Structure 1
Amino acid sequence: MKKGFIGLVFLWVTQICCAQFSLRSDQPIKLACDNAEEKVVQTALKLFIRDYQSVFSASAAVDARQGNIIVGTVGKSPLLKAVSADVSALIGKKQAFLLQVLPDGKLLVAGSDSHGTAYGIMELSRLIGVSPWEWWADVTPEKKISFVLPAEYQTLQSPSVEYRGIFINDEDWGLMPWSSQTYEPSDVKGHIGPKTNARIFELLLRLRANTYWPAMHECTLPFFLTEGNRKVAEEYGIFIGSSHCEPMVCSAAGEWRRRGQGDYDYVNNSASVYKFWEDRVKEVAQQGNIYTLGMRGVHDGQMQGAKTVAEQKAVLERVLKDQRGLLQKYVNKDVTTIPQAFIPYKEVLDIYNAGLQVPDDVTLIWCDDNYGYIRHFPTAEERARKGGNGIYYHVSYWGRPHDYLWLGTFSPYLLHQQMKLAYDRGIQKMWVLNVGDIKPAEYQIELFLDMAWNIDEVNEIGVTAHLKSWLEREFGSNCAEELLPAMEAHYQLSYIRKPEFMGNTREEERDPKYKVIKDLPWSEQTISERLRSYTVLSDVVERIESNIPADRQDAYF
């Protein structure tokens, strides 16, 4: 009897010390989180509560003191002091998180900073089966009766690249009219407002991204001129940056005609241009921004007032000095602590190569050739810079000699090869992807941002396994087996020649000769083989469609 009692006690103690974390469909839960946590943490909690209700059909709520899940940021949350977990591995890291099952069966979600805590919460959403594309691609979460993490479960994650995000571009035919006319109807022409941006930022948060370059074509009302956009960026912890022709987070294409006076010319009208920049910096100084330095023309053209490379170099030297002065005056006296970028894109690369000196703490953002091949990798001297190096990369492009905007044709294998090369050669500070309208580049976006988050993991498994895992998550393992070779064939055919290039001439050029449609220089046999290959793909995806679960049919479409 005594021996049996001791055995029961031992079993009871063992179970207490090694309890697993579990969730059930009939079980309301509480998340313990201090009220003083930053807005991005509060936003992530709201998303998880929505996800939990969707998966388990049960309620979830936040409590400031106790809960099944303990959420906190190192150095800020008093809740972390009360748990028997070692969070020292988070100290000194940026945007890192720890998920760990505690001895009492509760789950700890701890972050090194507010971004890390938010990403940790979103990791739990992933674990219970919620796709980052839950809203954008109608990936309805699968209902579950239960979910378990074993007693020994622990994951510690931190980003490979500090600033990771997307650039909305060429939004004229997709995002802007859909937003302003359908999702967020507005009488304001070109309106992309906070409701739309909240959905974009939710996607970024779920993909562990933190950087956004807003849509900037003339047809769109600029981001900072649209009420509510700044507020929603803060709620989702998004750093707002801008492209190569938009210095000081000013959309010159959309804003100069509204706020500027005279010509956008720093040679002959510098006072007006300076005020244009100054007004914006004063307005957004307290917000999380990444300030692009330098100057190009109003929209993707070379600067006015200076013709030769030497003249442009002299203007840019003055521009950099004046812009840094504005940041020092209004944002932080120690200008070296402010995130800044310089982008040697198109003709600006020639000016940089002519000897332009960019301050050491400014991140140099290198570019691809618009078709996926990076034009410059950092030298040893550039790799040693305090500001580090970044990349601006395209999986969608509108311009000469040919655009590709209709389909998700960009090769994930090329993307991986080039971004691995970029990282290995020191481009590790900032990665921004030109995604067009987001759709239909969902997979390329996730691959890019997964590499930016954990490049070693993606390199280890390779693109094929990563793509298969993505297809399994969205459509199930059986469909993924058949879809994988079909997608690989699609990317291969598109790499040989993108469907958008069928005209075999330039899409956008003032010279009339480029508007004449010419035949491709291919043999009848090559054309016939290509048509047969696409017919096979069409048959495969139509056949698989009948096996897709009803709640994933919209996602599959």
Structure 2
Amino acid sequence: MKACEPLTISSESGYNLQTDESVPIAHAWNMIARDHKQVFGRKPLQTEVEPSIIIRYAQEGDSCPHWPEGYCLRFVAGSKGTVLHIIGRDELGIIYGLLHYSRFALGVEPFWFWAELLPPKRDTIVLPSQNVDSIPSKVRYRGWFVNDEVCLIGWKEDYPPTEQVWQPVFEALLRCGGNMVIPGTDLPRTGIHHKLAADMGLWITHHHAEPLGAEMFLRAFPGKQASYREHPELFEQLWQEAIERQKEEKIVWVLSFRGQGDKPFWEDDPSFNTPDKRGQLISYVVRKQYNMICEFVEQPVCCMAMYGEIAELYKQGHIEVPEGVIKIWADNGYGKMVSRRHGNLNYRVPALPEAQDGGKNGVYYHVTFHDLQASNHLTQFPSSASLIVEELTAAFTTGADEYLLVNSGNILPHVYTLDLVANLWTKGKVNTEEQLTDFIGRLYSSQLQEISQLYRDYSRCTIDYGPHKDDRAGEEFYHHPARQIMGYWLQGKESSDERLYWATGERPFPEQVRWFKEKAESAIPDWVELRERCLRIMKQLSEDECRRLYNQLLVQIELHLSGSRGLASLCSAYGLFLEKDYPRAFIQASHAVWSYRMGKEALSLAGTGRWEHFYRADWLTNLDNTISHADTVRRFLRLQGDSPDMFLWSKQYLMPETEKYIYLENTHRKPLPDDELARCLEKVLY
């Protein structure tokens, strides 16, 4: 193909799809049609007569990359001018070729929907006639586990979520070069999530607690003992049904055997009381699942999660993995490739294949997590971007590069880190500074260095609650431990709370509370400074970019600041309670309520426009629950000194001396509301 003149694209440019009637390609074409209309103001013209752009499969002479999902762009001199050929080696190759055109010709960003970033309107676009060849991705199977997705679930009225919710998720994944997804967590099988993901060309994989994507045993057979030893035929029936249901689809089959509710199976079947017995059953079941798949699917792609107890048993030599099955190693939820913390147990066993471990390996990685302790659910990854890069590149070095599944949560709070990981699964290595500069430059038109510095400083502001580099707190740190503290306190318990040992170590409860107080107080100044800096920058941005920075970053800063203030005030209230200084304890508890409400208000402000109701299903961090707990604490404290008429503190601290001994109770008994009383008392007592 000889060199030719640049190609000018406009609203009049014609497209010609020379592909089969493929549902995934039709979805991709709909994206391109929408993008073309956004840029040029009208739908694209589809024509077979002198088109400007032809979409087709590879032919002899194209020199199209030969690997799966390969694509190329070729500029060809036609009778009426230059023609662009978008050429794919296979179905996903066509899709990725179209999306490359969308991004680099039409100017559509991968996260355009989630960043509310539309491409600029144009009259014409001039493309230099420079051919493009795709490069093979570092990771063969790469994608997202849309997990803990309560915001997506609650965003719209319909349940399970409809195409309106799922389409932007899967589109963003494809635009990031992803090809695999677990579309949600334990959603009703009547939902569209699985079918739509497949229809858009993605490989489907499964949660490790739902091997082969089968129905959970206790859901299918309520009342029966979930024991493979007792009911092998029932388990195999579920696996058989799952295989037959998905055998025509692109599936990365998950082989596994865990107990119901994502726990070790021997917790429900104590007869498996040795590692050898446990490993033998897991090995047998995995081999059985693998053989069943092979009866229906030629050369199936299978993987096995080396998660929790299974990784431990495997490394001890108790589990055999069928040849060719990808072994999946998981981080601890905080980005470090070690075993995760369970309650107070934190062994931090390395979670990567040994040097002598043959076969294929991959990684399950969290950029968002939910663990009822210190995880980040509504806010972005709390450690630095360099930790992600270090851990994943180290994993690739060990050979764990066949598969990368990223816990993507609710997408919106995690756009920056999802963009980072997409670069890693494509290129294999990333310079964090270059990626950050590129990311900010795509989303904003001014204040680029200042905004980049906000992102760098974000991880420096997060609370370091432990000795390890990855021991940094997300927003759940201010809520789950806080609610545990409040419940323990109001139940009248005084001994050490074992549920908090993971953070404080074994110490008396008042010392545990003091530990959280000191951590929270130490974080406040940095969050205040970061927030003020962000607000100053926002004043220099356009209205759209100001809104973008609020939704992408400031709302997360607000959650950290309000959370650290709320937790600090709550712990101060407990200390004053021990001193029996109930009025001041009441004031501090009120500050906790007010601070946590500020976090709720920040979410409400973010939940407008496109994101209306996006945060209404905040059921995991659950700010409403924390506010309710804190309000209960302050009402409890008021009962200690202001009961029964809720007027004693007003009389003691607020009433003029000339009135407090002569007032008539039958005319001066209106109790002040808690908020008003706390503010009035604060003026007198502080």
Query: Which category describes the TM-score, using the shorter chain as reference length?
Result: 0.7 to 0.9
Q: 1:534 aligns with which of 524, 527, 536?
A: 527
Deviation per CA, 1:85-114: give whole Å up to 9, x if none: x532412x1112212333442222112211
| 514 and 17 in structure 1: CA distance in 2 versus 1, 3 angstrom threshold | closer
Deviation of 1:64 after TM superposition, in Å, equals 5.3
Is 1:488 paired with 2:456? yes
Is 1:369 paired with 2:332? yes
What letter matches 1:237 in structure 2?
G
Within a 5 Å distance, the mapping from 1:360-509 to structure 2 comes to 360-375=323-338, 376-382=351-357, 384-385=358-359, 388-399=360-371, 401-410=373-382, 411-456=384-429, 459=430, 462-476=431-445, 478-494=446-462, 496=464, 497-500=472-475, 501-502=477-478, 505=481
The number of residue pairs the alignment matches comes to: 501
Match of 2:44 in 1: 60
Q: For the residues of structure 2 that align with 1:71 and 1:431, how far apart are their CA atoms?
A: 30
Deviation of 1:361 after TM superposition, in Å, equals 0.8
**Runs of 5+ unmatched residues, structure 1:** 1-15, 75-79
Q: For the residues of structure 2 that align with 1:433 and 1:143, how far apart are their CA atoms?
A: 34
Within a 5 Å distance, the mapping from 1:14-29 to structure 2 comes to 17-24=3-10, 27-29=11-13
Q: For the residues of structure 1 that align with 2:221 and 2:361, how far apart are their CA atoms?
A: 32
Deviation of 1:418 after TM superposition, in Å, equals 0.8
SS at match of 1:488: helix
Task: Answer yes or no: is the 8 Å Cα contact 2:184–2:193 preserved in 1.
Answer: no
Deviation per CA, 1:307-366: give whole Å up to 9, x if none: 43222112112201221222122223xxxx101110111111122123211011100001
Deviation of 1:157 after TM superposition, in Å, equals 2.7
* More displaced 10-residue stretch of structure 1: 339-348 or 535-544: 535-544
Task: Answer yes or no: is the 8 Å Cα contact 1:49–1:61 preserved in 2.
Answer: no
| 374 and 286 in structure 1: CA distance in 2 versus 1, 3 angstrom threshold | same
What letter matches 1:209 in structure 2?
G
Deviation of 1:435 after TM superposition, in Å, equals 1.8
Deviant stretches of 4+, over 6 Å = 506-511, 526-529
The structure having more radius of gyration, on CA atoms, is: 2
* More displaced 10-residue stretch of structure 1: 153-162 or 309-318: 153-162
Match of 1:144 in 2: 122
Task: Answer yes or no: is the 8 Å Cα contact 1:506–1:514 preserved in 2.
Answer: no
Task: Answer yes or no: is the 8 Å Cα contact 1:399–1:507 preserved in 2.
Answer: no
Match of 2:72 in 1: 98
SS at match of 1:343: strand
Q: For the residues of structure 2 that align with 1:405 and 1:490, how far apart are their CA atoms?
A: 15
| 539 and 241 in structure 1: CA distance in 2 versus 1, 3 angstrom threshold | same
* TM-score, with structure 2 as normaliser: 0.68
Identity %: 21
Deviation per CA, 1:485-506: give whole Å up to 9, x if none: 1110002222733252246959
SS at match of 1:72: strand
Deviation per CA, 1:169-208: give whole Å up to 9, x if none: 223x4222224x2xxx24xxxx134443223211211111
Within a 5 Å distance, the mapping from 1:34-433 to structure 2 comes to 34-36=18-20, 38-63=22-47, 66-74=50-58, 80=59, 86-91=61-66, 93-103=67-77, 104-127=81-104, 128-171=106-149, 173-179=150-156, 181=157, 185-186=158-159, 191-217=160-186, 220-221=187-188, 225-250=189-214, 252=216, 256-258=218-220, 262-303=224-265, 304-305=268-269, 306-332=272-298, 337-355=299-317, 356-375=319-338, 376-382=351-357, 384-385=358-359, 388-399=360-371, 401-410=373-382, 411-433=384-406
SS at match of 2:27: helix
Task: Answer yes or no: is the 8 Å Cα contact 1:262–1:272 preserved in 2.
Answer: no
Aligned CA RMSD, in angstroms, stands at 2.8
Q: For the residues of structure 1 that align with 2:314 and 2:525, how far apart are their CA atoms?
A: 48
Q: For the residues of structure 1 that align with 2:194 and 2:175, how far apart are their CA atoms?
A: 19
Q: For the residues of structure 1 that align with 2:331 and 2:483, how far apart are their CA atoms?
A: 20
* TM-score, with structure 1 as normaliser: 0.83
Match of 1:7 in 2: none
What letter matches 1:492 in structure 2?
R
Deviation of 1:231 after TM superposition, in Å, equals 3.2
**Runs of 5+ unmatched residues, structure 2:** 339-350, 465-471, 489-495, 501-508, 552-686
SS at match of 1:23: strand
What letter matches 1:205 in structure 2?
L
Q: For the residues of structure 2 that align with 1:138 and 1:539, how far apart are their CA atoms?
A: 24
Task: Answer yes or no: is the 8 Å Cα contact 1:400–1:508 preserved in 2.
Answer: no
